[in-house]
């Protein structure tokens, strides 16, 4: 544990430099979250100086900015393994360290956690003060305001650090605003405000109370804190989030308030690494790069599924003005950025608001448009109720383009795309389809655009393996036999699982029938019935959860039809998949083609 408590401001500034250098060194070699975490160094040091990390819950929203916290809390040497298989997580993780309060990887949960922790503290008679660090991007999600609404009513002691590194909640107005913000933060003003409020309530008529209240509100109008104050949460700031002395002084004031308070801190993304300073999305999460030049390692290879999707949807949008689309804070990650640039009136980024994204597109479908909701598998979970209630119930033609389906690697448990088949398959009116390669992805988008009812199309992170089979247009609920074998064994692949089935079959001296299921809902019952006449042992290949997944769907069909088939599914077991290199994770899960071939031989 780095000694923060007993250090002078100058010593803390030296520690901040050491922390930045460590982050730059390790991330330049391993990759990881970068600009946000560099910008949060002084704020994190201030948290550890003012609060007790062994007692007070330290809650990092999303927690991609937690690297300084990890380095301060006994993980300096182990930091070398950040986001590596078997190493440190890139997010907070209680199993990793007692100083990590909660698992975090999705945005906008922190204030809700702090409210819960503060309630528990009050009931148990404790002395804990939950302290939250939340980026301004996370303030775009409704869950934050639900939490603040209750917190402002309960008046429980919670300190929220608003790490403003991309945009202001409201633009301050010059020197007057800065002066008033500091004035509002001071002990003298806070004490004066309480005394005046008490005196007015007890001694002055209603009209005077109104005038006094209006005067105070007129001051807040030229500060960014009015929104929070109206919700019952005190506001301090903006402060310089890189001035350690100011950070410590302000956090000390906030802690002593004994009620909810927001500290608005201005920071610079990438602080301490000039090439990345002020650069937003480009340096948020990075691969290995050269520290001197800032140039990333070039990776030669096939075009990613995301890039194929982006280009194919662009072509559809050029031909059909009814094609529209939305993403939730991931324009470049989902490939929608190109379409937003070319068709700004038809493609939108609604920020971290998956629920709104889904429901708004439901209305567009009702109005005759062909909307694509483009969201990572892990984040689509956040719009689950809206998919049920606003899309499927109305049987509206919304296509869900589900990026990062399957294993995504270093981001780990909170980001693996393993659940989308399971949570979408039981919804009435929903069609589930998956392409096996780039060309069938293009055809899948055409199918979704013209279906006229809810459709979910999943594809993996990275590139498809291109396969030597003719790509034919999708027909609703129809699969495809790619190869008919002479044995009693059939390999049934779904999506990217088709290539794994083929690779596994190539390692076996068995003439195996290979099927591209294409649809897991509705199933091609005619194809499966005919397949049962030719084979009696089926193996399922799909990058998805076993419970409620592809194998489960086929077992339901077999049970209904009383067809006797021995079925083995190679889907993910009932676990959360850890972080690490995708190939290492697949080996750990026992699903590499070589491992699967051995399992087939032994079964």
Residues assigned a catalytic role: 269, 354, 382
User: For residue 385, what are the contacts with CB-CB under 8 A and spacing of at least 6?
Assistant: 355
CA distance readout (Å), 137 to 142, 164, 330, 332: 12, 8, 12, 16
Hey, what are 530's tokens? 């005919």
* Nearest-5° Cα angle at 452, 450 to 453: 130
Cα 249 from Cα 219, distance rounded (Å): 23
Angle of helix 110-124 versus helix 142-154 axis, rounded to 10: 30
| Secondary structure of 286-319 as H, E, C letters | ECCECCCCCCECCCCCCCCHHHHHHHHHHHHHHH
Could you tell me which residues are beta bridge partners of residue 236? 263
Neighbours of 128 (CB within 10 A): 17
DSSP for 397-430, written as a single string:
--EEEEES-B---TTGGGT-B-SHHHHHTTSTT-
Q: Where does 460-543 have alpha helices with state H? A: 497-505, 525-534
Do 114 and 57 touch, CB atoms closer than 8 A? Answer: yes
CA distance readout (Å), 117 to 66, 111, 468: 19, 10, 56
DSSP for 238-305, written as a single string:
EEETT-HHHHHHHHHHHHHH-S-EEEEEE--TTTT-TTTTT--GGGTEE--B-TTT-PBPP---SPPH
Cα 421 from Cα 520, distance rounded (Å): 8
* Nearest-5° Cα angle at 313, 310 to 314: 80
Cα 332 from Cα 340, distance rounded (Å): 10
E-strand ranges in 345-471 read 347-349, 370-376, 399-403, 431-433, 455-458
**End-to-end distance of the chain based on CA atoms, in angstroms?**
51
Do 494 and 541 touch, CB atoms closer than 8 A? Answer: yes
């Amino acid at each position: 544990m780095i000694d923060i408590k007993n250090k002078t401001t100058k010593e803390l500034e030296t520690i901040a430099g050491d922390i930045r250098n460590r982050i730059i060194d390790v991330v330049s070699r391993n990759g990881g979250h970068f600009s946000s975490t560099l910008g949060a160094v002084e704020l994190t040091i201030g948290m550890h100086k003012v609060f007790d990390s062994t007692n007070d819950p330290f809650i990092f929203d999303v927690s991609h900015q937690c690297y300084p916290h990890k380095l301060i809390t006994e993980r300096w040497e182990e930091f070398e393994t950040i986001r590596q298989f078997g190493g440190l997580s890139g997010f907070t993780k209680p199993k990793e360290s007692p100083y990590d309060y909660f698992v975090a990887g999705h945005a906008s949960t922190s204030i809700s956690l702090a409210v819960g922790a503060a309630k528990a503290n009050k009931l148990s008679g404790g002395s804990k003060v939950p302290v939250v660090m939340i980026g301004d991007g996370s303030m775009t999600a409704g869950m934050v305001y639900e939490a603040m609404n209750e917190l402002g009513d309960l008046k429980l002691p919670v300190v929220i650090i608003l790490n403003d590194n991309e945009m202001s909640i409201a633009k301050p107005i010059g020197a007057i605003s800065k002066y008033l913000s500091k004035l509002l933060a001071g002990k003298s003003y806070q004490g004066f405000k309480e005394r005046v409020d008490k005196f007015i309530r007890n001694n002055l008529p209603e009209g005077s109370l109104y005038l006094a209240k209006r005067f105070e509100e007129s001051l807040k109008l030229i500060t960014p804190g009015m929104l929070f104050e109206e919700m019952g949460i005190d506001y301090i700031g903006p402060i310089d989030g890189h001035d350690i002395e100011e950070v410590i002084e302000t956090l000390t004031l906030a802690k002593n308030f004994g009620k909810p308070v927001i500290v608005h801190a201005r920071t610079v993304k990438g602080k301490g690494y000039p090439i990345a300073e002020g650069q937003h999305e480009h340096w948020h999460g990075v691969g290995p790069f050269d520290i001197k030049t800032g140039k990333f390692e070039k990776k030669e290879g096939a075009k990613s599924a995301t890039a194929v999707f982006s280009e194919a949807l662009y072509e559809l949008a050029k031909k059909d003005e009814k094609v529209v689309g939305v993403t939730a804070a991931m324009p470049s990650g989902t490939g929608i950025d190109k379409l937003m640039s070319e068709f700004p009136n038809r493609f939108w980024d609604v920020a971290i608001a998956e629920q709104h994204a889904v429901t708004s597109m439901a209305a567009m479908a009702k109005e005759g448009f062909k909307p694509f909701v483009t969201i990572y598998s892990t984040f689509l979970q956040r719009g689950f109720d809206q998919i049920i209630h606003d899309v499927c119930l109305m049987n509206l033609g919304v296509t869900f383009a589900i990026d990062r389906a399957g294993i995504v690697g270093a981001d780990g448990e909170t980001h693996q795309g393993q659940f989308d088949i399971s949570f979408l398959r039981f919804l009435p009116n929903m069609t589930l389809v998956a392409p096996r390669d780039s060309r069938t992805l293009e055809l899948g988008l055409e199918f979704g655009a013209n279906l006229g009812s809810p459709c979910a199309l999943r594809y993996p992170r990275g590139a498809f393996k291109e396969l030597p089979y003719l790509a034919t247009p999708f027909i609703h609920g129809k699969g495809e036999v790619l190869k008919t074998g002479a044995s009693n064994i059939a390999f049934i692949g779904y999506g990217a699982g088709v290539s794994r089935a083929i690779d596994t079959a190539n390692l076996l001296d068995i003439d195996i029938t290979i099927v591209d299921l294409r649809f897991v809902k509705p199933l091609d019952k005619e194809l499966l019935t005919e397949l049962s006449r030719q084979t009696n042992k089926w193996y399922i290949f799909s990058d998805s959860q076993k419970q409620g997944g592809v194998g489960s769907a086929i077992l339901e069909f077999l049970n209904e039809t009383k067809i006797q088939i021995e079925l083995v599914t190679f889907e993910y077991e009932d676990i959360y998949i850890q972080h690490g290199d995708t190939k290492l994770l697949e080996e750990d899960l026992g699903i590499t083609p070589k491992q699967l071939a051995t399992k087939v031989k032994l079964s």
